[in-house]
Chains A and B, each alone.
Chain A
Amino acid sequence: MGHADFYYKSFLKIFLAVLGFIFVVFFGLIIVKAIPGFRFEGWSFFTTANWIAPESFGALQLILATLVTTLMALCVAVPIGIGAAVAIVYLVPKSLKILVSSIVGILASVPSIIYGVWGVFVIVHFSGYHLEPWLASVFHGHWPATGAPRAFGILAGGIVLSVMILPIVIAVGASVLETVPEETTEAAYALGSTKSRVIRKVILPRARGGLTGAVLLGTARALGETIALATILGSASTGQLPFNLFATGGTLASSIATDFSGFAEPTFEMLLCLGVCLIVITFTTGAIGRNLVAKQARRYL
């Protein structure tokens, strides 16, 4: 190893150490600065649902809203996303595949703010004028459509979220499906099966781990979506829990955006607490998702 190489490698090692340090600081700083906030509020942070900055900071409603909107998004994105992924890999003719994949890629690179604009003008409008009144009439004012329709609510938020995470589920799902070895598919066809049966009974079970990973990656995105939901939801100012299609109120992420008003304590620290919650839930879902996708890719006969 020559002279130059020694400096080269040493430089790289130092660089890596610094990079690692920076990323540790990134998470560490947010967590450390949030601790006073947690101490300030105590357990009621997680158990009370009255987030009204700068007076009270019970984040339960936010946590639940995050989960509910994500769940709503998943209800749409899982069947449609996996279905679309199946379509891309097994239905779309080769000549169109590139075009379709490009469209999915473009959808994935649309910035959140654009989804926010579209969400406010198109989805909220649709929800307020058409969807929610219809739901109100279907459920006659009972659960899950109690109360008056409020266009800027979690229903519209859930719809926009589902549109936003679809490209992720589809793109990752399609690449997972491509890894199913051709010999498995051939064996199934050779037994005389029709196409849908081969997909349903052989390919999908085989790809189960990776597809779950794709869904989890979409989930992580939905849990952390800030701007699009901030434009549609605003922050939590009602004390109600979001178990109602017409509910309003913000999520963990959207509230950070809407409630920032300078460094005044304790508001700023409480927002950091929201950030820590975000870190925990997106990190774990994302990590499990990536893990599952990688495991799927590694399996061989």
Chain B
Amino acid sequence: MSVIVESDQEAQARAHIQGLIARRFQRRRVLSWVSLSFVGLALLVALFPLYSILEQTVAIGGHYMRLSFFTQNELSPTVQHPNLVGGINNALVGTLIIVAVAVVLSVPLGIVGGIALFEFDNKFVATMRSALFSILAMPSILYGLFVLILAASFKLPFGAYLGSIALAILMIPMVAIVTFEGLGEVPRLHVEAGLALGAQRLSLMRRVMLPEARGRILPGALLAASRAIGETAPVLFVIGSNSYTSWNPFSQVESLPTVIYSDLASNYPAVRAECWAMGLVAMTIILIFNLAARSYFAWSSRELAG
């Protein structure tokens, strides 16, 4: 067996090319480090605003954290008493009412909608699915406009319920989508086991699939609620205004975001500064909801994985 040896010419060509590659390696390595440093810098720059927001919110808003802040209603300062700002009780309760009614409206409807999207598989359904995704991305002021039109057309009085309707329209797609995705994640094995036991579609859904999709639906609903808490534009005009606490969904109320919005434009510095405190409260609530949603999701994924 003879062995064909690489010719001298080929060996030379290889040495040439390998030399070219090795030659400026150090430079390439340095350049790589430099560009990656820029990339890391970009990340730090991107994350910095959170630090700034949190820092200001906590530093300035922290001063206001007394019980009376939460139990008092909003007050209007006057020239004689420019620091009379009061508390956020009416805004807190208002937010609670608006979001609670919105949740009651949107979660059941959203879940049913998600089920409906899951059970059928035709062109119409596919279009509806993509329509839902696009609705999600719409500027939230549009929900407010829609409810305004409804109020104008049907001569409806302003009140918390209108805000709830606007928020519900925003939340239903969110809940429907997580329901749809959650149902899709139920392992085929479980579905087929249920069918093998003679279950019909409805009971299969009720007893097998929905419970298993809970790990997606609940966090999704929590996230939708947390989004609703922070929304200003949909509720801004339709809930009216009210500096007293009201638990009646048909009365006019104020929500945390709307109070912040109007306070920002105030002439009194004390009122403007209070915005940080209200922001702190709002962000804390939203963060808690987000954390709860994430933890539940992580916990239930672990449960399912066994």
Is there any pair of Cβ atoms, one from A and one from B, under 8 angstroms apart in the complex? yes
- A113 and B200 contact, Cβ closer than 8 Å, known pairs A118-B52, A282-B137: no
- A225 and B46 contact, Cβ closer than 8 Å, known pairs A26-B146, A33-B149, A86-B39: no
Verify if A248 is at the interface (C-beta below 8 Å from B): no
CB contacts under 8 Å to A, within B89-134, are: 109, 112-113, 115-117, 119-120, 124-125, 128, 130-131, 133-134
Question: Do A257 and B141 have beta carbons less than 8 Å apart?
Answer: yes
Note all chain B residues with C-beta closer than 8 A to A114.
Answer: 53, 57, 230, 279, 282-283
* Of B26-34, B63-71, B213-221, B243-251, the one touching chain A: B26-34
- Mask, A169-203, CB within 8 Å of B = 1, is 01000000000000000000000101111001000
Q: How far is the CA of A224 from the CA of B137 in the complex (A)?
A: 9
Interface size on A, residues (CB 8 A): 85
Min CB distance A35 to B, Å, is 13
Q: How far is the CA of A88 from the CA of B229 in the complex (A)?
A: 29
Verify if A9 is at the interface (C-beta below 8 Å from B): yes
Verify if B193 is at the interface (C-beta below 8 Å from A): no
Note all chain B residues with C-beta closer than 8 A to A268.
Answer: 148, 152
Verify if A131 is at the interface (C-beta below 8 Å from B): no
Q: Which of B137, B146, B275: most chain A CB closer than 10 A?
A: B137
- Looking across the interface, which residue of chain A has its beta carbon closest to that of B110? A19
Verify if B268 is at the interface (C-beta below 8 Å from A): no
Question: Do A91 and B152 have beta carbons less than 8 Å apart?
Answer: no
| A-B contacts at CB below 8 angstroms, number | 237
Note all chain B residues with C-beta closer than 8 A to A84.
Answer: 39, 42-43, 45-47
Q: Which residues of B contact A (CB under 8 A)?
A: 21, 28-29, 31-33, 35-36, 38-43, 45-47, 49-50, 52-53, 56-57, 109, 112-113, 115-117, 119-120, 124-125, 128, 130-131, 133-135, 137-142, 145-146, 148-150, 152, 169, 172, 200-203, 205, 223, 226-227, 229-233, 236-237, 257, 260-261, 264-265, 275-276, 279, 282-283, 286-287, 290, 294
Q: Which residues of A contact B (CB under 8 A)?
A: 1-2, 4-5, 8-9, 12-13, 15-16, 19-20, 22-23, 26, 29-30, 33, 79-81, 83-84, 86-88, 90-92, 100, 102-107, 109-118, 120-122, 163, 166-167, 170, 192, 194-197, 200, 217, 220-221, 223-227, 230-231, 253, 256-257, 260, 263, 268, 271-272, 275, 278-279, 282-283, 286-287, 290
